[in-house]
Amino acid sequence: MRKCSLMEENADDKFEECVELCKKGVQMCRIKRGRLTSPRKVYVEDKKWLCYHSAALWKFLPMRLKYVNLDDIQEVRKGFSSDNLRSAAKNHRHLLHKSIDFAAENSSLIEDFAKGLQHLVTQKNLQRLHFDEDCWLLDHFQRADVDKTGKLNFDEIMNLLKKMNLQISEEYARAVYTKSDSFGKKDGQLDQEEFLNFFAHLTQRPDLNHAMKMFSSNNEPVLSANDVKTFLTTEQQFEDVDEKKAALIIETFETGKQSTKLLGPVGFRRLLLSRWGNIMKPGHEGVFQDMNHTLSHYYVCTSHNTYLTGLQMKGEATVEGYIGALKKVDVFDGEEGEPCITHKRTFIKTISLRDTLKEIDAYAFKTNPYPVILTIENHVSLCQQKAMARIFKEILGHKIYVRPENGASQPLPSPNDLKNKFLLRGKILKAKQSLDKELKVENNELVENKSEKKEIIKIDPEFSYLIALPSVHLSHNIFQDIEEHPMDGSPSLSEGKVVSHLESGYLLSAYTSKRFVKSFPKGLRQDSSNMDPIPSWICGVQSVAMNIQTTGEYLDLANGLFRINGNCGYVLKPQTLIEGLDPRMPEISSTITMKLLVGVISGQYLPKTSQINDIIDPYVTVAIYGIPADTRKFKTKTIRNNGFNPQFNETFIFPLHFPDFALLRICVKDFDSTSANDFIGEYTIPVRSVRAGYSHVRLNTGHPRKMDECASLFIRIAFE
């Protein structure tokens, strides 16, 4: 134990040294347009900003100091692994991320700088998960304090409130301002403590006071330890909270100077901004499902054309694309004797298969150990297939799961059995097929034109040996396919074929209960838009390919489904689908088994849709996505000119026939009478992972759908 403690101390000391190096800065060259700029200092300021000098467009102009908010940094990566995505970002506004690339001569120095920067980014992400309202307010205070006096006058505070999306009468604000200043030095300005007091008075929450009175033993907005225990166990549905633990909770969130052993409105507000007010059931943020089922019993997070940073027909193929979601690889003959990755019949630039596999190997199991499935769309000549097999074995080695001899007759292994393994999915050499026999490639995932001639290739036995999930063709006779297809056979279905199966009956779910199936967007989606994943999931299709570079409602549903179970990429299908039954069958879908009540109470700190926009007019949609009998959407009234603390106070009731499959999506938009309503934020979660009680639902905002630092909806959930 002592040794472990010492190791932890040494690790902390090392991180602190690296953070100090980030503050001090390191001389680096920026890589821009494929060229190295002159060395310049790159450093971190106030643990909030990555700072570097950027050359102006015209050489005679001075260099500009640029700031990158650490909140906006997705990942810090070392080595020769970062593709430059800048040109794609300019052309395609829906691109999720861009890269800033630096190089330095001293490798150990740059490694320590990268460690320190990644540590700071990680800390910022943790802060975002555990929102501290006071810290957030003081951060805004410091930004508004341009002259660095530590105080703000009334005009500065009014400008700050406007930036924070709060519209309030000047008369009322001045009255609260004067009252707050009277607690201090009465100098016509507010210091940080006075500002927090001013803000608390300005933004009193009647919705929270009402909730407190419901559980207060004396009907006042103050809770004793016994009241807190009752609130957390009966309303919030938490277990193992006794009066002693409730007293400790009060000490944690009630930060007044004098300990009263009572929880007041401010402490209650902090309590509901913590894990005690999270909409997700306790434990569901980690891996809580049984991971010992056969692979076909899980939905699997899947990307489509991961390497594309722009449109389907014209874009840039990048190594970066495979690091976020490692699912589909289109391989063609390369010019230097080794295969490359690109997109058939398009203007997509090529990337090296070797480089891509190195990145996949480095990052695939960084966040969790569960298997990665790579669909190999093989367009490679026989000669380069041998090279392709050699490259896969050379780089991925023992991590490749090799299909056992009896794989055709045995259920697929479980995610637990396949930890830290890659499964290759694609065409194989049939048992009686010679090398001279040509094989037609079917189910091409780019073109659905049946009149187009199918590509003819030969399959190399060395590469065929590496395929764990061999492609098969799904016919119109599913019963026959169930009997004849190998247990590890894996067909691909276009979204059009999925809809056809959905409309024709309930048979596909019987097939998907035993075999792994992938669905992909129709080829006409050359704008990288996404298909609706719900029809595929209803049929039990495990792998629904999403264009992760394109945000929107359908990608939100996929992200919402995989938000639970540790965000590990695997979610157990409902028992009905595991048994091969279709949840739309009358005996399943004709009875209401549950009612979900969603009370939308208020919003907090809803962001503007752009810097130049006026204060927003928000409204909320609450929707259930699931089987047709359960799917419905409601909308609140629009609140004019208030993105700061709009009060909605509306309740919606959802009768559910099959809650095991239902997803709850809450979305906030800005009403616009002259054009399309602008997206503000959303949150999606499976109904079975929703905790009853009061919650502050943290919104995912912007095009990257990143959890906002502070934007939330205050809601109340109940089940009947």
The separation between the first and the last C-alpha atoms of the chain, rounded to the nearest angstrom, is 49
Three-state SS at 155: helix
Per the annotation, the verdict on 343 as an active-site residue is yes
Taking residues 25-53, report their average pLDDT.
Answer: 84
Q: What is the 3-state secondary structure (H, E, C) of 257-300?
A: CCCCCCECHHHHHHHHCCHHHCCECCCCCCCCCCCCCCHHHEEE
DSSP per-residue string spanning 422-478: EEEEE----TT--TTS-EE----SS---TTSPPPEE---HHHHTTEEEE-----S-H
For residue 494, pLDDT beyond 90: yes
Taking residues 269-292, report their average pLDDT.
Answer: 95
Name residue 299's amino acid.
Y
For residue 46, pLDDT beyond 90: no
Taking residues 475-504, report their average pLDDT.
Answer: 93
Pairing status of strand 35-36 against strand 26-32: antiparallel
For residue 720, pLDDT beyond 60: yes
What pLDDT sits at residue 542? Answer: 96
CA distance 356 to 348: 16
Catalytic residue from among 304, 485, 501, 696: 304
What pLDDT sits at residue 68? Answer: 86
Taking residues 142-161, report their average pLDDT.
Answer: 88
More confident residue, 630 or 336: 630
pLDDT band at 268 (very low <50, low <70, confident <90, very high): very high
For residue 173, pLDDT beyond 60: yes
pLDDT band at 454 (very low <50, low <70, confident <90, very high): low
For residue 199, pLDDT beyond 70: yes
> From the CA atom positions of the chain, what is the Rg in Å?
28
- Which domains does the chain show, CATH number per domain? 13-126 (2.30.29.30), 133-202 (1.10.238.10), 206-277 (1.10.238.10), 295-578 (3.20.20.190), 590-719 (2.60.40.150)
- Asked if 607 contacts 717 with a C-beta cutoff of 8 angstroms, the reply is no
What pLDDT sits at residue 344? Answer: 58
What pLDDT sits at residue 397? Answer: 96
Residues 353-364: pLDDT tens digits? Answer: 898 888 888 888
For residue 441, pLDDT beyond 80: no
Please tell me what DSSP assigns to residue 634.
Answer: E
Per the annotation, the verdict on 304 as an active-site residue is yes
For residue 533, pLDDT beyond 80: yes
Taking residues 577-595, report their average pLDDT.
Answer: 95
For residue 119, pLDDT beyond 50: yes
Considering the entire predicted model, what is its pTM?
A: 0.80
* Long-range CB contacts (within 8 A, 24+) of 39-45: 42/102, 42/113, 44/19, 44/70, 44/116, 44/117, 44/120
CA distance 468 to 516: 11
What pLDDT sits at residue 55? Answer: 65
- Tokens at 374, concatenated: 């790579």
Q: What is the mean pLDDT of the chain?
A: 83
- Token look-up 């347009």 returns 33
Q: In the structure, how many helices (H) and strands (E) does the chain have? A: 22, 27
Catalytic residue from among 119, 284, 297, 343: 343
- Tokens at 679, concatenated: 């997206």
